[in-house]
Amino acid sequence: MFSAIIIIFILGYACITLEQIIKINKSAVALITAGLCWTVYIFSGVHHNEVNDQLLEHLAGASGILFFLLGAMTIVELIDTHDGFDIITGKITTTNKRKLLWIVCLLTFFLSAVLDNLTTTIVMLSLVRKMVSAKADRLQFAGMIIIAANAGGAWSPIGDVTTTMLWIGNQVTAANIIIKLLLPSAVCLLIPLFFVARNMKGDVTRPASKIKQKTKREIFESKLILALGIGTMLFVPVFKTITHLPPFIGMLFSLGILWAVTEIIHQNKADKDSFSVVYALQKIDTPSILFFLGILLAIGVLQSTGQLTEMAGWLTAKVKNLNMLTIAIGGLSAVVDNVPLVAATQGMFSLQQFPTDHYFWEMIAYTTGTGGSILIIGSASGVIAMGIEKISFFWYLKRFGLWALTGYLAGALIYFLQEKLLHVM
């Protein structure tokens, strides 16, 4: 039965990667895969109450991510509806592809550390749509945004779910993870960025600007919604730190604030519906949210049946060198979601074996955070970009897979050298 689950997952994964060939939406495939995996599991001889409890547990974890994503996407859509991003893009005047790519990627890298890689990806993709009209050019920017967002999230305790897990689990401390991983994460971005930017030539064509002349009130509303939108999203990690509640509560709370403000400032307008949250919810990419749900639930079966733990155990037995082990686990995160992978790692290795801020935990934070960039489906940033810009699996693999892998290995090497020089290992 367990072999059947693995086969179904692999076949589903293959169909997702071949979406452009088989002409079936990846969201449908993900949902079918999740449904089949859980169906096979419940008929495997395990008591149905136990399976249902495990399913509800995974659904709770997945729902937290999905509601977080729903809130973030709605806030971004509200900012866009109020032309808030025009204020930012108006400050970026260059149309040179290379310069613009460097600006976008560096902004993504640092913004990802204070927001998180998923929210930052949504925001930056929306910004790029305001500055780049050609689909082919936008795809190039989207590919680098994925790498930049994952690299930026790895060195911050709130920048990536897995780093946050290690932080909450007391495997790492906030100050230490920033100090130790900032340079390796920067190298992980800069190497792919250098080579991709070098191959980009010419200028981007900007979308036609709106002819409508804005009133002072409309300009004020744009600035207000932009400030509130970005400000409330930045507030989410602070909210989490203070209350210890899941991040999705903070994101939905932020959405509620923005919702109330838009209702107040547009209440006397004839066209108020076009500025409402209800309208924004109709425009968000719902299929991508369902794709996330399917993928997370399908991977949840692998975790519940112990397949991920067995895989981690097999790696530990086969790879004796600790450095190579962390790199291998990071490489695995390009295929399997890094959240259950890190959870399995936390369960396998104790704080007695590797105490707080041991370089093993720091490397796990780096490798699982950045290894997902190697394949577009290996990270939340990649999956959401895949949905928003309709990027195919093989297109990304062909154009960014090698550069992402090169940056990933270079960053790991920098970390090892940094530890050797500091005599920490």
pLDDT tens digits for range 294-311: 888 888 888 888 887 777
Q: Two tokens at 75?
A: 């806030």
**Which amino acid, residue 309?**
T
Which 3 state secondary structure label does DSSP give 96? strand
Question: What is the tally of structural domains in the chain?
Answer: 1
pLDDT band at 337 (very low <50, low <70, confident <90, very high): low
Mean pLDDT of 369-395: 87
Q: Two tokens at 115?
A: 């927001």
Mean pLDDT of 252-260: 93
Q: Name residue 96's beta-bridge partners.
A: 203
Share of the chain above pLDDT 70, in %: 96
pLDDT band at 39 (very low <50, low <70, confident <90, very high): very high
Residue 96 backbone dihedrals phi, psi, to 5 degrees: -65, 125
Given a cut of 90, whether residue 103 has pLDDT beyond it is yes
Predicted pLDDT at 188: 96
Q: Which of 15, 9, 20, 31 is closest to 293 using CA atoms? A: 31
Q: Which of 199, 261, 276 is closest to 225 using CA atoms? A: 261
Q: Two tokens at 276?
A: 């409402």
Centroid of chain to Cα 69: 10
Other Cβ atoms closer than 10 A to 397: 16
d(CA 393, CA 383): 10
Mean pLDDT of 33-49: 90
d(CA 365, CA 359): 10
pLDDT band at 346 (very low <50, low <70, confident <90, very high): confident
Question: Can you list the positions of beta strands (E) in 310-354?
Answer: none
Share of the chain above pLDDT 90, in %: 29
d(CA 26, CA 289): 11
The 3-class secondary structure across 379-392, one letter per residue, is CHHHHHHHHHCCCC
pLDDT band at 404 (very low <50, low <70, confident <90, very high): very high
pLDDT band at 281 (very low <50, low <70, confident <90, very high): confident
Q: Two tokens at 196?
A: 């991709």
Predicted pLDDT at 425: 47
DSSP annotation of 203 reads: B
**Which amino acid, residue 157?**
P
User: What does pTM read for this prediction?
Assistant: 0.74
Mean pLDDT of 323-328: 88
Ramachandran class of 337: left when φ > 0, alpha when ψ lies in -120 to 50, beta otherwise: beta
Do 188 and 370 form a contact (C-beta atoms < 8 A)? yes
Do 155 and 175 form a contact (C-beta atoms < 8 A)? no
Given a cut of 90, whether residue 405 has pLDDT beyond it is yes
What is the domain range of residue 240?
2-422
Instruction: Give the model confidence (pLDDT) of 175-202 as tens digits.
Output: 888 899 999 999 999 999 999 999 888 8
